[in-house]
Amino acid sequence: MPDSISKEKRSWNMRQIKSKDTIPELRIRSALHKLGFRYRIHYSKLPGKPDIVLPRYKTAIFIHGCFWHRHKNCIEASRPKTNSGYWENKIHLNIQRDKKYQSLLKKMGWRVVIIWECKVSEDINKNSTLLTSLLKKAKFYG
């Protein structure tokens, strides 16, 4: 099926996608702050440059886009119909890189928490509840 958008327009669209300070990231950071946590962002001293790091608790938080990191059973993780070979390879490499960085962080004694963009809400209280649940699951506290 041919692409309905010109190559130039598609390229422009893709350049508009941010990798830092995305809306889900900002919402999670706001909820962390509300919960009283202090954190660092895009911490380059750790493998994978986690989106959020709680150094005091040795916890790295990654906020994954459902499409880019292929969230299982999520409608946002749909497969592109055009140039599918390119996208499958790109997403496969993203997933492999994620696994590598998570493994390295765990070997270094860090907890790793993954938050999927589809789980992030506009409601700060829901995000606080989500964070509390994920941090407990990571044996962070509670």
Instruction: State the alpha helices, DSSP H only, in the chain.
Output: 7-15, 23-34, 66-69, 84-107, 124-137
Which pLDDT score is estimated for 126? 93
Rounded to an integer, the average pLDDT of 62-84 is 84
Alpha carbon distance 133, 109 (integer Å): 21
The answer to the question of residue 77 being in a domain is yes
| Domain presence at residue 53 | yes
pLDDT for residue 78:
77
Most confident residue range from 20-24, 40-44, 73-77? 40-44
Q: What is the mean pLDDT of residues 46-68?
A: 93
The pTM of the whole model exceeds 0.85: no
State which residues form the domain around 56.
Answer: 18-137
In the block, tokens 């993954």 appear at 114
Calculate the average pLDDT of the chain: 86
| 93-100 contact pairs (CB < 8 A, 24+) | 94/68, 94/69, 94/70, 95/69, 95/70, 97/48, 98/48, 98/62, 98/64, 98/69, 100/47, 100/48
- Domain tally for the chain? 1
Give the model's pLDDT for residue 142.
Answer: 46
Distance CA 49, CA 42 (A): 5
Contact 52/61 with Cβ under 8 angstroms?
yes
CA gap 117, 23 in Å, rounded: 9
| pLDDT confidence band for 61 (50 / 70 / 90) | very high
**Which pLDDT score, from 0 to 100, does residue 136 have?**
82
User: Is residue 13 a part of any domain in this protein?
Assistant: no
pLDDT of residue 141 exceeding 60: no
Whether 25 maps to a domain, the answer reads: yes
In a domain, 10, yes or no: no
